[in-house]
A and B are shown apart, each in its own frame.
Chain A
């Protein structure tokens, strides 16, 4: 589904991603962990070209998205992204947040888009919030609406950029539960997170990044119980 080859990314003189090679299979849940500044968010943002890559290739299915000629909007329409700070549109109601892109990008009718939106809201138990503005929601609700907004586009891949880092502790669970449900439904997911419990339970594969490299990758059981590299061990000893 996703093939990343020799990906490098620099901001000015600072090389943030040094040589990333990784493949993500359909329906796989890949969790990316690592200390802050390790490049994991930048890596994730390269996958839908919110960051332009410096060199290397990223194939989403058969399309090389690092090619400037690619219509990036149609690629992005198939890739949902969830942000640390939700980024809901504050001037639109919850329903309007969800139906905007399906109507404007997918050219669905309002009725179709609303039907999809209400189905998602029902699933998430947030139907009664359809007509309110994001301001009045809790953090956990905001992030679940953000997930609904992304899912309304019927994406093939979902990217999560520290989706629970800005939440109060008691709200982390509700968001992780939604993500777990998505994984069980067979969504291809790349998740940057500090939630080691989630990585262990839901991840098919865990990737440990440090200083712009993928240091180690393995199934969660192996990586958490028998890490090979010193840096992985050092990191895990601090967070577990």
Chain B
């Protein structure tokens, strides 16, 4: 079997552009997901049951249904209500953010609840209210413990962003499919795409290990 490098070379500019979208979607998704996830976590930890319930079901829904289904619901259902014409990049970003927010919320909740109760009591006994206690005592300690699972979530999100190809978001996988469709070849385009993802996830893993080490030395 011959391996046609010329296909990869021809598609390189498109794959590169797709790569930028993939990075953009992943970074945007994790940032928006983290902000959203923080509030969802706080909501789920509310003292009041009625407040907790919608947040619990948000998490149940987004963790309990396939991302592909969510992507379709967002792109073909939600977004047409909000904008016209719809934009596949925005749809993908919204779906990925909503999805990762559910996972990030659980990471936040677990991190916050893993902090010893004595820390809260010590801060309270000094007259610190709940906001001061969360901001200065609980959250900074919890955040360090959240870095490894947040990193994992980021890597998962990066790979899951490939699903956006199905709704024609012009990211990495989309251009792989395009090349495959044009030349009726499987190995060249998909191996090129696979190696690009691998390069991204491995670099991210190294980066996260480095950050984790830096923080634990402190």
Contacts and interface: CB of A to CB of B under 8 A. Distances in A.
Interface stretch (A23-31, A58-66, A87-95, A184-192): A87-95
A81 B125 CA distance: 6
A89 B137 contact: yes
A101 B127 contact: yes
Interface stretch (B90-98, B115-123, B202-210): B115-123
B128 A73 contact: yes
Interface string B123-165: 1111111001000110011001000000000000000000000
Q: Is the interface of B mostly helix, strand, loop or mixed?
A: helix
5 tightest A-B CB contacts, nearest first:
A77-B127, A87-B122, A101-B126, A81-B125, A87-B118
Interface residues of A, number: 26
A73 B118 CA distance: 17
Given A100-B136, A104-B136, A89 B128 contact: no
Interface string B106-118: 0000000000101
Nearest to B140: A91
Interface of A: 48, 50, 73-81, 83, 85, 87-91, 100-101, 104-105, 146, 149-150, 153
A81 B4 CA distance: 74
A149 B121 contact: no
B129 A73 contact: yes
Given A90-B141, A100-B136, A104-B132, A76 B118 contact: no
B122 A105 contact: no
B57 to A, nearest CB: 28
A150 B136 CA distance: 17
A77 B136 CA distance: 17
A143 to B, nearest CB: 12
23 contacts: A50-B121, A50-B125, A74-B127, A75-B127, A76-B126, A77-B127, A78-B127, A80-B125, A81-B121, A85-B118, A87-B116, A87-B118, A87-B119, A87-B122, A89-B123, A89-B137, A90-B141, A91-B141, A91-B144, A101-B123, A101-B126, A101-B128, A104-B132
Interface string B148-187: 0000000000000000000000000000000000000000
B137 A153 contact: no
A77 B126 contact: yes
Contacts of A85: 118
B121 A153 contact: no
Contacts of B128: 73, 100-101, 104-105
A75 B126 CA distance: 9
A76 B119 contact: no
